[in-house]
Structure 1
Amino acid sequence: MTGYLLGIDAGTTSFKTALYTDEGAAVHIVKEEYVLLTQKAGWVEYRAEDYWTLLCRLIKKLLAESGIPPEKILALAVSSQGETLICLDESGKPLMNAICWLDNRSEKEADRIRVHFGKKVIYEKSGQADVTATWPATKILWLKEKMPEVFGKTAHYLLLEDYLLYRLTGCYVCEENLWASSLLYDINKDCWWPEMLHYLDITAEQLPDRKGCGQPAGMVSASASGQTGLSPDTLVVTGALDQTCGSIGAGKIFPGEVTETTGSCLAVSAAVDRFVPYCEERPITCQNHAVKGRYTILLWSQTAGMVLKWYAGCFFSKEFREGENIYRLIDREAEKAAAGSEGLVMLPHLSGASNPEYNSMARGVFYGMTLGHERKHFSRAILEAVAYMLRRNIEQIEGIGENVSGIYSMGGGAESDIWCRIKADVTGKRVETVQVKECACLGAAILAGVGAGIFPDIDSAVRKVSGRGKLFVPTEENRAVYDRSFGAYIDLYNALVPVFRKYGD
């Protein structure tokens, strides 16, 4: 062993930093959660500077607890949440709070972009199935019209990974995987999309320099070294979208392999060796992979683990104060309820719905409550709701002719045996957890190793570090009840679409 690799996971509600040997073995991990700002309906923000402060604090803690000398860390890379937009002025200072990807303020702007370009052109340029308020292009258009002073002063539009790379190196650098969903990058021509830039009235000079994933971005600057404790001899490497990094860390990046990550959101990823042609009847997202020439079918739902976090915070505060592990308590309660939660069905759309509904007006719903329902039924209904979202995603992948023989499960949800069993029963697929606990951190560390020349390429690195986890096989006796409950889930959403539209504001 010659040194260590640092993987950073900049998630939606938590940051993690992890050290690995140059052979991919975990050494030490630290994590810290944070709370997003939701001061206006539909707005979700965070102070941009606080992202950097949080990262500095975690790196210092990681170095102190691991005892690894900073000069032994060869390289680092970032696994990042997508779409969170940060506007900097000429001096590199944030002009406002970061606009989180969960923010829905730009719904009307999304509609205008969809009408102007058309869904087919949007898909062929970006690989995105639809235009939603999540995408940075819609937020830039909102800024232009609602906050013209910020729009006029913005010299640099960055996503979260880019901002952290800038703070680490002083360089404005990005990677192509993260920017696919910005609607600013043409994934098939490998260039900024000039017609979109013109429509938004911005220039390529306001965007970072693009690189591939796992490419050197620069060395840790003297300023960043002082703030983080890292050595200025540590190489900073471009990472990837968190879901992509998770697949890399799980070792599941080859065609035919499907992963699901239940973290704050639900993300489903399937690697393919072709760009899937546009189909109006079956809209999907198919964007560029971290591995050049490969694509990822990427499907996601806004709120998954975040629903459980909301539920725990609202209804388990007493147990939390008493020191119980709330999520294991929810698991135990869910175990006591029968499959199907005795007719209780939840729509988990607490921040709008993404794939395949693409409805920012959708809201969370519990349906079928009776006097016989207890807290255990609500606990199980939430776990089942996320499994229904997963089934919808799997059916989409199979609908375009891709085979799904099994599902590899990652994220915090993979630590729950009952949740994995429910997912297997609902989808009718074998669900296997991934042995690696923090896949996104490991994926980022692998990309750091590729950039530093430790691994010849991403595929070689993945084959070297992948392993196997727990296997959950569908229970045939639960199939009928889950087919019925899944049908109720679909019918419930469809029936409420007019209600969401009428009262969503």
Structure 2
Amino acid sequence: MKYVVGVDLGTSSVKILLVNQHGEVTEEVSKSYPLIRKQTGYSEQDPNEWVEQTIEGLTDLLKKFDGNPEEIEGISFSGQMHGLVLLDDHNKILRNAILWNDTRTTRECQEIYERVGEEQLLDVAKNRALEGFTLPKLLWVKNNEPEIYRQINTFVLPKDYVRYMLTGKLHMEYSDAAGTLLLDVKKKRWSEQVGELLDLDPKIFPPLIDSHDEVGTITGEIAKATGLHPATRVFAGGADNACGAIGSGILEEGKTLASIGTSGVVLSYEASGDKDFNGKVHYFNHSAPDAFYTMGVTLAAGYSLSWFKDVFAKDIDFDQLLAEVNTVPVGSNGLIFTPYIVGERTPHVDANIRASFIGMDASHGIKHFARAVLEGITFSLNESVEIFRENGKRIDTIVSIGGGAKNETWLQMQADIFDATIVKLSSEQGPGMGAAMLAAYGCGWFESLNECAGEFLKEDKVYTPISENVEKYSRLFTIYKEVYHNTSSLNERLMDYRQ
């Protein structure tokens, strides 16, 4: 039997899958690492932690594997997007990585608009200047840490650095590069124009490759440390959302994905880079060859739920927390939650907005609050679905992955709020499976990723909308959308009291 490895470098942990030729996950390992939060709005990690935990995870995986290491033919990667990793002339790390959920760069976003122009940026990068993207972080270092900035030889994104440490080869692939704001998304090349307008030296931009491209093999040192065979082929991989799309079969027009991890996304396949959403949703290069995808983002999806549990129900597990939400009626007895605990991205590009519980009274217990959190997360994702529909896209079937696919009540809630059929996969592995599929395709097991998906991915359950619930949620969604507009100015005024 032949195998491939998919490495999913997430925000809180690295998840590593060993997958056989039939798409079966035969071994799985997860290793966690900490976030570094120095002050409000800051979110960093030590890239060395990613590398150490990935090597440890691969080592544990090989210890559990009872086959011949030569049977593991390839390895590829999925990774958290936008994180800035700065390297010097010797490719040594210059500072902690600044992550996707770091919001310190509001001033740098304004600088981009002043020097590049919003219209020109949308024309080239297909996305607005948001605090989470890589370019504002690079400018922040330039403006605030000039000594470090002067030492920069190149920058990469999180999974690219891990891949470099496993192979000695340094690249960035298109699906992740699209999230920097420096890539000409349609032309698939670095934008010299944007770089020049911001006085960035083009020599710091790394070489670009496709997600399925082979970059080399693992180093002898990594082979010795992990037990992998030195001839294990390594492929570029993709951004976590692009890999999540591949791992969910979002590989042709009409396919849509709802993914609820730390953040949440609604993602839809695009065959070309020609559509114009006026920056309302993200527009990125897909990890599938010559394809694109559009995507709306909820910054704190699963994170809102884990935050709620940690603060209000620390002594119970998630299953206990959600055990009774199915006994709570639609609308949580008049309780609404907006999941803005770290700001929001779609449809409100707002780093200052914060979460609210609206409608609390003495009748509400922990089960009502838990259901309201689930509903609020799903309402936020539905704002992206609404944008897609308003722009002529047909959204009638959605594959659900991540935390939102692990609870039956939440899956039915998605069907009712999205007013669409929800598909749960029999083996939902998200971005890690997408990374494994890129390795399988790169190794030549299949003629296309679509063919690979046909072998690897199987449907488990389907949830259809309940008309009565659809109507109730439609009315409640209107109220939900009003909460942002009625609390945004209050949150602006509260910024002076945050530390």
How would you bin the TM-score normalised by the shorter chain?
A: over 0.9
Which residue of structure 1 lines up, in the alignment, with residue 481 of structure 2?
490
Deviation at 1:378, TM superposition (A): 0.6
- 1:320-356 per-residue CA deviation (whole Å, 9 max, x = no partner) reads xxxxxx1111221312221101111111011110111
Question: Residues 112, 502 of structure 1: CA spacing in aligned structure 2 closer, same or farther, 3 A cutoff?
Answer: farther
Matched, 1:167 2:165: yes
Unaligned runs of 5+ in 1: 320-325
Q: Tell me, in whole angstroms, the C-alpha distance in 1 between the residues paired with 2:471 and 2:455.
A: 41
Q: TM-score, normalised by structure 2?
A: 0.96
SS at match of 2:41: coil
Which residue of structure 2 lines up, in the alignment, with residue 98 of structure 1?
97
Deviation at 1:173, TM superposition (A): 1.1
Is this contact kept in 2: 1:347–1:385, CA < 8 A? yes
SS at match of 1:277: coil
Which residue of structure 2 lines up, in the alignment, with residue 231 of structure 1?
229
Which residue of structure 1 lines up, in the alignment, with residue 315 of structure 2?
318
Which residue of structure 1 lines up, in the alignment, with residue 26 of structure 2?
27
SS at match of 2:374: helix
Is this contact kept in 2: 1:83–1:134, CA < 8 A? yes
Is this contact kept in 2: 1:161–1:174, CA < 8 A? no
Is this contact kept in 1: 2:135–2:181, CA < 8 A? yes
Which residue of structure 2 lines up, in the alignment, with residue 472 of structure 1?
463
Matched, 1:274 2:265: no
- 1:267-317 per-residue CA deviation (whole Å, 9 max, x = no partner) reads 11111223343354x722222222333220111111101111111222222
Is this contact kept in 2: 1:63–1:69, CA < 8 A? no
The aligned runs of 1:202-221 (5 Å cut-off) are 202-221=200-219
- 1:123-147 per-residue CA deviation (whole Å, 9 max, x = no partner) reads 221221x211111100111100100
Q: Select the residue among 432, 442, 445 that pairs with 1:454.
A: 445
Q: Tell me, in whole angstroms, the C-alpha distance in 1 between the residues paired with 2:420 and 2:159.
A: 34
Matched, 1:243 2:244: no
Q: Select the residue among 295, 299, 316 that pairs with 1:298.
A: 295
Question: Please, which moves more after superposition, 141-150 or 183-192?
Answer: 183-192
Matched, 1:11 2:2: no
Q: Select the residue among 406, 409, 418 that pairs with 1:418.
A: 409
Q: Tell me, in whole angstroms, the C-alpha distance in 2 between the residues paired with 1:199 and 1:436.
A: 47
Matched, 1:504 2:495: yes
Q: Select the residue among 349, 355, 359 that pairs with 2:346.
A: 355
Is this contact kept in 2: 1:274–1:294, CA < 8 A? yes
Matched, 1:50 2:49: yes
Question: Please, which moves more after superposition, 338-347 or 464-473?
Answer: 464-473
Q: Tell me, in whole angstroms, the C-alpha distance in 2 between the residues paired with 1:40 and 1:165.
A: 30
Whichever residue aligns with residue 111 of structure 1, its letter is: Q
Which residue of structure 2 lines up, in the alignment, with residue 110 of structure 1?
109
Which residue of structure 1 lines up, in the alignment, with residue 132 of structure 2?
134
Which residue of structure 2 lines up, in the alignment, with residue 322 of structure 1?
none
Which residue of structure 2 lines up, in the alignment, with residue 429 of structure 1?
420
Q: Tell me, in whole angstroms, the C-alpha distance in 1 between the residues paired with 2:118 and 2:454.
A: 37
Tell me the matched-pair count. 496
Which residue of structure 2 lines up, in the alignment, with residue 181 of structure 1?
179
Question: Please, which moves more after superposition, 337-346 or 29-38?
Answer: 29-38
Question: Please, which moves more after superposition, 226-235 or 260-269?
Answer: 226-235
Is this contact kept in 2: 1:341–1:380, CA < 8 A? yes
Q: Select the residue among 261, 283, 289 that pairs with 1:286.
A: 283
Q: Tell me, in whole angstroms, the C-alpha distance in 2 between the residues paired with 1:464 and 1:194.
A: 41
Unaligned runs of 5+ in 2: none
Q: Identity over the aligned pairs, expressed in percent?
A: 27
Is this contact kept in 1: 2:9–2:79, CA < 8 A? yes
Whichever residue aligns with residue 166 of structure 2, its letter is: L
- 1:407-457 per-residue CA deviation (whole Å, 9 max, x = no partner) reads 110112201111111111112111111222212111101111222222223
SS at match of 2:324: helix
Is this contact kept in 2: 1:123–1:278, CA < 8 A? no
- 1:249-270 per-residue CA deviation (whole Å, 9 max, x = no partner) reads 1222110011110111111111
Whichever residue aligns with residue 45 of structure 1, its letter is: E
Is this contact kept in 2: 1:43–1:103, CA < 8 A? yes
Whichever residue aligns with residue 192 of structure 1, its letter is: W
SS at match of 2:253: coil
Matched, 1:152 2:143: no
Q: Select the residue among 295, 305, 308 that pairs with 1:308.
A: 305
Is this contact kept in 2: 1:251–1:465, CA < 8 A? no
Question: Residues 453, 415 of structure 1: CA spacing in aligned structure 2 closer, same or farther, 3 A cutoff?
Answer: same
